[in-house]
Amino acid sequence: MRDPLNNPNGKEMGKLILLIVLGSVMTTMVLHQSQLDSSMEQTETSSIYENKVISRNIAYSGVKLVESQLRNEPNEYRPSGVVHHTSEGDLTITATGPADGPVEVTIRGTSNGAETVLVTQYDIESSGEEPPSFMAAGIVAGNTLEFEKPSSVNGNGGTNANVHADTDLKIKDELHVSGFGSAGNNIQNDSGMSLEDIFEPSSNPDDLPVASEGVSNLNPPDPSSSEAMENADHVSSGSANWSGVINLGGSANDPEVWFWGNDAKTTGNVIMNGHAVVFIGNTLEINHDFRVNGKVSFYVINDIKLKNADVEITGILYSGNSITIEDSAELKLTGSMTATNDIMAKGPVEVNYRPAALPYFEAVGFEAVGADSGNPTITRTRFRIVSE
């Protein structure tokens, strides 16, 4: 019998069988890899689509959040790149515009690289709940207003942030005001800047003079102790010593009202949380670092004094006498500042003017301008999908 291995035909047949087997294996591997690649592509496509849907849902949820916030705080809600983190992605909101509208909002939803960007615009019809004239400016002094260190008074979008003194306005260092300056008597400018460089209104369609002397007095009145006590949620006839974290409670539309019949002062650094109206029956002394998280309006029968402190407040500073920011203190105020007598800014001051909302001044007996005209109306005038 012939050995098939020594048979030339047998060897060729063996090679042929081996090639067929190898080819079959390779074909199977290629088909398997193709199926695997196809499956991965389908999974990747599905994942991309899912992330796009999630980013779209996040962005559209931002529209509801924006409209809710604008109804609650139409004059003040202007977030700048505020990020809200969720379990599925991030929501970023930026809003620009003056207190009385229109407001343009960019809403960005992102999820694992997928992004949806929406742009909306809203008109805000006045509620008729504007603050009285002696609070409708960045800073108002019933007597002298003096700036001794570099300071600024800034508007919000197209809103003017005016400053006014019933007698003299004295400027002794660099000052930038996004509004008009006025005085019942004189404007004394020793800053080295021109008045046109100091006062640059955000809105001046009638090309009015940016600084005026001999204007009518605003005559800011004292806050009402009896009204504050009647409206108070918490009343103490004594003094307040503040230190550490203080939780005042309240909400943006329903601030808690606190009444202390005597002095208030800091005895350590303070973080004050909440939305509140705080009434002080005598003087307020802030001698330590002081920060408000939320919004708090302070009404003080006598003096407000800031010394050796970095102070950051969102709300109102209102004194029934004088406000003094010593040169050892710095003040950053988002809101407005009023005194029936002098305001002496010996230290640097930054005021980012926001008009006071009704619940933050009616508790002390101040009446809104045109308060019977109803709630503000928020109307969406534009909705555009930039990318999705």
Which tens digit of pLDDT belongs to each residue from 304-321?
999 999 999 999 999 999
Q: Model confidence over 201-239: pLDDT tens digits?
A: 988 888 999 999 999 999 999 999 999 999 999 999 999
Q: What long-range pairs does 63-67 form, CB within 8 A, spacing at least 24?
A: 63/107, 63/118, 63/120, 63/383, 65/91, 65/93, 66/93, 66/95, 66/105, 66/107, 66/120, 67/122, 67/378, 67/380
- For residue 334, what is the enclosing H or E element? strand 330-339
Percent of the chain with pLDDT over 70: 84
Residue 81: helix, strand or coil by DSSP?
Answer: coil
Partner residues linked to 385 by β-bridges: 118
- pLDDT recorded at residue 9: 53
Question: Where is average pLDDT lowest: 43-52, 173-182, 277-286, 356-365?
Answer: 43-52
What token pair was written down for 5? 């291995």
pLDDT of 311: 98
- d(C-alpha 353, C-alpha 158), whole Å: 11
Residues near 341 by Cβ (< 8 Å), separated by ≥ 6? 141, 142, 143, 319, 321, 322
- Higher-pLDDT residue of 175, 15: 175
pTM of the entire structure?
0.70
Taking residues 345-361, report their average pLDDT. Answer: 93
Question: Quick one: average pLDDT of 341-347?
Answer: 98
What per-residue confidence (pLDDT) applies to 98? Answer: 73
| pLDDT confidence bin for 376, thresholds 50/70/90 | low
Please state, in angstroms and rounded to a whole number, the distance separating the CA atoms of residues 143 and 152.
20
Model confidence at 373: pLDDT above 70: no
3-state secondary structure of 70: helix
Q: What percent of the chain has pLDDT over 90?
A: 62
List the structure tokens of 106: 């960019």
Lowest mean pLDDT among 14-23, 269-278, 327-336, 339-348: 14-23
Per-residue CA distances from 318 to 63, 173, 174, 286 (Å): 36, 24, 24, 14
Distance CA 76, CA 178 (A): 17
| 5 has a pLDDT exceeding 50 | no
- Integer CA distances (angstroms), 369 to 60, 235, 353, 361, 362, in order: 36, 28, 18, 12, 11
Q: How far is CA 157 from the centre of its chain?
A: 12
Classified as helix, coil or strand, 303 is: coil
- What's residue 156's pLDDT? 77
Average pLDDT over residues 374-385: 72
If you average pLDDT over residues 323-345, what whole number do you get?
97
